[in-house]
């Protein structure tokens, strides 16, 4: 395809998507991350999957029928798996091993998930319920190995890929080497590594992502393997799409991760905070680490545009690490109420406790989509508190921090958490502040989990917070505030 034709197609697609959701629009959302193959089957069957390392039968049509379940939880955005046609492998259910990238039509889609009409119906179904639709996309690599590329489209020549001239003998990235050139030019676990310095490759990827956003109506993107490609490419890629994009930089070093926000994409997955939350709530390390990490987050361009999460498809679930739902509730409370765009990984609300991949990618249908579980109710309550009080519009102020207690406010909302878990001792702390700030004397605050039984009347200078048996609390203004 000529460069001019590609450029014209990109401009047309961008114009079509220019009115799509902005970064600021996304800040008020709560995202539900699902794996398309694991969320719902077309026929509604709930039998277990024989081998969760292979396709289990989830489809767009099945997921469309279960959008009310997501809405009941309170999530108003849905992140779905990559959509391209995959290499011929039963283990490609996740969607990260593409063989074909066509601009439209069924031929370029993963046939296991359903045709283009079903995908469009799924996105339209989200929009009909006031939800944003987020597409997971891959611009770093294709599937299979370099010997498979002859059957790919459109990247079927070795000229479309990096060679191994700057790589270890096996051509794979050695992440322990801390060599950024190697990260960008070498292969991720043997996957053919696209060369975005080739104009055709870069321009076609931009045209492709713009066509998916325009054709199906996606409101945002989750971008895979961001550090494996240079930053300028991602800026052009996101500009072509014309929507908010949150990128994966799988690294806990804030100094490494932060430059990718703005340098590459407007949003990033909040991996440094993920590792801190896991250390604090799952491993019971000092809660003062939250204070340190949040202070260091000043390095980010826009903390409120980061995607905050506690579980995902690449890590063992929280409950696998610490099998204590009370501690998990505390972690979820912090995650949903702190700065950033919360991402709830499917199955969290059902207490899934799968270990490393693929065990953290369980089929949801075995739960029966129960909306009465303690975790479903807890997450729903926390999301409601976040949305009703629009906490993303308020600054976050630390109110107390020690080894086993952490509290912060967002406007007049107070969030108090502990990591002691279900068998832990009662935690009592005094929340103090300057006279006439945040909460006036006589203001009555109500705990959203027990709104009539647990209320606090503010006295001069502060009030006490009691946390029993590892519980977390969210106090919202009730009267006189």
Determine whether the annotation assigns residue 392 to a binding site. no
Q: Write down the catalytic residue from 118, 193, 219, 224.
A: 224
Q: DSSP labels for 317-328?
A: -HHHH---HHHH
Q: Indicate if the pLDDT at residue 44 is higher than 80.
A: yes
Decide if 72 is catalytic.
no
Residues 281 and 310 in one domain: yes
C-alpha to C-alpha distance for 80 and 31, rounded to whole angstroms: 10
- CATH code: domain of residue 47: 3.20.20.80
Active-site residue, selected from the candidate residues 193, 248, 324, 349 = 248
* Domain shared by 401 and 389, yes or no: no
Question: How many folded domains does the chain comprise?
Answer: 2
- 323 and 283 together in one domain: yes
- Does 388 share its domain with 404? no
Q: At 6, is the pLDDT very low, low, confident or very high (cuts 50, 70, 90)? A: very low
Closest CA to 23 of 266, 227, 323: 266
Instruction: Kindly report whether the global pTM for this prediction surpasses the value 0.75.
Output: yes
Distances (CA, A) of 199 to 2, 6, 207, 233: 10, 10, 12, 11
The pLDDT of residue 266 is above 80: yes
pLDDT digits (tens, 9 = 90+) for 319-364: 999 999 999 999 999 999 999 999 999 999 999 999 999 999 999 9
Q: In Å, what is the CA distance from 345 to each residue of 157, 238, 315, 336? A: 37, 24, 11, 12
Say yes or no: 342 and 193 in one domain.
yes
Q: What is the pLDDT confidence band of residue 435, given thresholds at 50, 70 and 90?
A: low
Q: Are 148 and 293 part of one and the same domain?
A: yes
With tokens 């739902």, the residue in question is 325
For this structure, is 219 an active site residue? Answer: no
Residue 462 pLDDT grade (very low, low, confident, very high; cuts 50, 70, 90): confident
Question: Do residues 99 and 220 both lie within one domain?
Answer: yes
Residue-range definition of the domain harbouring residue 475? 397-479
208 is in an annotated binding site: no
Among residues 393, 426, 446, the one where a domain terminates is: 393
Q: Which 8-state DSSP code applies to residue 458?
A: -
- CA 478, distance to chain mean position in Å, is 32
Is 170 annotated to bind a ligand? Reply is no
The owner of tokens 């129960």 is 370
Read off the CATH number of the domain in which 454 is found. Answer: 2.60.40.1180
Residues 6+ apart with CB under 8 A from 415: 333, 334, 337, 338, 407, 408, 409, 472, 473, 474
Residues 423 and 299 grouped into a single domain = no
| CA angle centred on 424, ends 313 and 354, rounded to 5° | 20
Q: From CA 103, how far away is CA 100, in angstroms rounded?
A: 10
Q: CA-CA distance, 224 to 96, in Å (whole number)?
A: 9
141 is in an annotated binding site: yes
Residues 433, 330, single domain; the answer is no
The C-alpha atoms of residue 213 and residue 237 are separated, in whole angstroms, by: 12
Q: Name the percent of the chain lying above pLDDT 90.
A: 93
Which tens digits make up the pLDDT trace of 283-315?
A: 999 999 999 999 999 999 999 999 999 999 999
Contact 209, 137 (CB under 8 A): yes
Encode pLDDT of 472-481 as tens digits: 999 999 998 9
- Check the annotation: does 267 bind a ligand: no
Claim to verify: residue 132 and residue 59 sit in the same structural domain = yes
Question: Who contacts 229 (Cβ-Cβ below 8 Å, separation ≥6)?
Answer: 139, 140, 184, 194, 196
| Boundary (domain end) residue, out of 393, 428, 444 | 393
- Residue 210: both structure tokens together: 């713009």
Determine contact, residues 347/364, Cβ cutoff 8 Å: yes
Give the domain-ending residue among 343, 371, 393.
393
Distance in angstroms (rounded) separating the CA atoms of residues 71 and 78: 10
Residues 387 and 402 in one domain: no
**97 labeled part of a ligand binding site:** yes
Q: Are residues 314 and 401 in the same domain?
A: no
């Amino acid at each position: 395809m000529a460069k001019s034709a590609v450029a014209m197609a990109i401009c047309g697609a961008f114009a079509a998507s220019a009115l799509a959701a902005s970064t600021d629009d996304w800040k008020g959302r709560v995202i539900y991350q699902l794996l398309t193959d694991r969320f719902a089957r077309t026929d509604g069957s709930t039998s277990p999957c024989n081998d969760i390392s292979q396709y289990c039968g989830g489809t767009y049509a099945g997921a469309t029928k279960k959008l009310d379940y997501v809405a009941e939880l309170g999530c108003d955005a849905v992140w779905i798996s990559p959509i391209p046609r995959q290499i011929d492998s039963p283990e490609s259910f996740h969607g990260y091993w593409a063989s074909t990238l066509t601009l439209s039509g069924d031929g370029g889609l993963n046939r296991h998930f359903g045709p283009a009409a079903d995908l469009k119906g799924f996105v339209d179904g989200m929009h009909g319920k006031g939800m944003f639709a987020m597409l997971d996309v891959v611009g770093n690599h294709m599937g299979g190995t370099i010997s498979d590329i002859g059957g790919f489209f459109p990247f079927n020549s070795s000229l479309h890929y990096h060679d191994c001239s700057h790589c270890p003998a096996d051509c794979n990235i050695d992440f322990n080497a801390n060599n950024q050139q190697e990260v960008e030019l070498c292969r991720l676990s043997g996957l053919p590594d696209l060369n975005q310095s080739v104009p055709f490759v870069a321009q076609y990827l931009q045209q492709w992502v713009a066509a998916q956003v325009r054709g199906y109506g996606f409101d945002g993107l989750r971008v895979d393997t961001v550090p494996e490609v240079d930053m300028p490419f991602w800026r052009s890629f996101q500009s072509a799409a014309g929507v908010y994009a949150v990128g994966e930089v799988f690294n806990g070093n804030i100094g490494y991760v932060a430059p990718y926000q703005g340098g590459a994409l407007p949003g990033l997955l909040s991996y440094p905070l993920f590792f801190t939350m896991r250390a604090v709530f799952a491993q019971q390390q000092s809660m003062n680490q939250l204070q340190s990490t949040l202070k260091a987050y000043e390095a980010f361009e826009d903390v409120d545009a980061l995607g905050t999460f506690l579980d995902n498809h690449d890590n063992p679930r929280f409950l696998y690490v610490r099998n204590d739902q009370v501690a998990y509730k505390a972690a979820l409370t912090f995650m949903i109420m702190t700065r950033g765009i919360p991402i709830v990984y499917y199955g969290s609300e059902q207490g899934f406790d799968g270990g490393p991949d693929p065990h953290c990618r369980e089929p949801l249908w075995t739960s029966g989509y129960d909306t009465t579980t303690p975790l479903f109710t807890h997450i729903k309550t926390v999301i409601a508190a976040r949305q009703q009080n629009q906490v993303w519009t308020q600054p976050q102020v630390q109110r107390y921090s020690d080894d086993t207690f952490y509290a912060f406010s967002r406007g007049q909302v107070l969030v108090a958490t502990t990591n002691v878990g279900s068998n832990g001792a009662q935690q009592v702390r005094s929340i103090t502040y300057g006279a006439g700030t945040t909460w006036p004397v006589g203001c009555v605050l109500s705990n959203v989990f027990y709104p009539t039984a647990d209320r606090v009347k503010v006295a001069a200078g502060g009030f006490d917070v009691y946390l029993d048996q590892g519980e977390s609390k969210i106090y919202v203004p009730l009267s006189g505030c």
